[in-house]
């Protein structure tokens, strides 16, 4: 398919990153948020990230200006009518995502592909609320989107070969390496990642090691770029908990059960980098 304009629903941490990489790859981008305040904050996040790219020599000032000029913000999904592909990047809640998909399905041309940036939820369930189930798939980006090279493409039993091939071509144009993941909770990465983070939290919760020693041991002993507790803060403890709960509900395995400490921290608003404090203090 000839994809020229990409819509992104949500301009939070993930959505703003998706907007940036799409604009820098030469696509016209329409991004929607729930209200003007959130939209302004999201677009400012995009501008700041692009400017960091300029300061680090990743993009020229001229290229940055052109990329930012390709982005148009809105608070009305009706403005997505020119889009050829729309990527949903709202909160990890099935009911909210289904509502977005129903709305988009009623607005967009029948040939437009609908993708979800979900990190754990059923793509088939999202496809089932539309009249285009063959044109629905998961496009799971990783944080920070402009830096992380992987894009998980989640193909449901309803996704067509053409839709998958188009998503693979888009991924390549965005500079991402794509893998095809099964439409099962957690896909590939989070199905392996969440138990790892959970075990690290349990180790810390039990008082067996300090958070610094846990992270240092993994960084230096396994050559990871960051330790599991630092990674949990980066992902967001609320997102980690949401994915863990989905995995535990689906598989019923103890390794996916969220530890009490994680649940208490989320309830207290200690969500990691996004809130300024998680296992570590970023204020």
3-state class (DSSP) for residue 132: coil
Give strand ranges (E) for 38-77. Answer: 71-74
* Residues 30 and 80 sit within 8 Å (Cβ to Cβ): yes
Residue numbers annotated as active site: 119, 140, 152, 190
Question: How far is CA 14 from its chain centroid?
Answer: 5
Report the run of H or E that residue 39 belongs to, with start and end: helix 36-55
Dihedral in degrees, nearest 10, Cα atoms 197, 203, 206, 209: -130
- Cα(90)–Cα(47) distance, integer angstroms: 20
Give the tokens for residue 23. 């604009």
Residue 194: half-sphere exposure toward Cβ, Cα within 13 Å: 29
Alpha-carbon separation of residue 98 from 127, 160, 197 (angstroms):
9, 20, 28
């Amino acid at each position: 398919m000839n994809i020229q304009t990409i819509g992104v629903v949500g301009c939070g941490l993930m959505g703003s990153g998706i907007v940036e990489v799409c604009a820098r790859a030469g696509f016209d981008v329409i991004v929607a948020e729930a209200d003007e305040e959130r939209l302004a904050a999201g677009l400012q996040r995009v501008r700041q990230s692009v400017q960091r790219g300029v300061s680090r020599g990743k993009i020229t000032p001229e290229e940055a200006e052109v990329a930012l000029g390709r982005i148009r913000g809105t608070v009305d999904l009706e403005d997505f009518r020119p889009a050829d592909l729309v990527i949903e990047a709202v909160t990890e809640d099935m009911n909210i995502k289904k509502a977005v998909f129903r709305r988009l399905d009623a607005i967009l041309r029948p040939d437009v592909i609908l993708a979800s940036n979900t990190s754990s939820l059923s793509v088939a369930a999202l496809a089932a609320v539309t009249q285009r189930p063959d044109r629905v798939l998961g496009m799971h980006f990783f944080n920070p989107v402009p830096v992380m090279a992987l894009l998980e493409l989640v193909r449901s039993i309803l996704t067509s070969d053409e839709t998958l091939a188009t998503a693979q071509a888009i991924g390549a144009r965005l500079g991402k390496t794509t893998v095809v993941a099964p439409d099962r909770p957690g896909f590939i990465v989070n199905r392996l990642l969440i138990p790892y983070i959970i075990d690290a939290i349990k180790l810390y919760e039990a008082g067996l090691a300090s958070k610094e020693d846990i992270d240092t041991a993994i960084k230096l002993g396994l050559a990871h770029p960051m330790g599991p507790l630092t990674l949990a803060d980066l992902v967001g403890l609320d997102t980690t908990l949401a994915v863990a709960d989905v995995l535990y509900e689906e598989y019923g395995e103890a390794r996916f059960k969220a530890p009490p400490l994680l649940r208490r921290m989320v309830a207290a608003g200690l969500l990691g980098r996004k809130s300024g404090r998680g296992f570590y203090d970023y204020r």
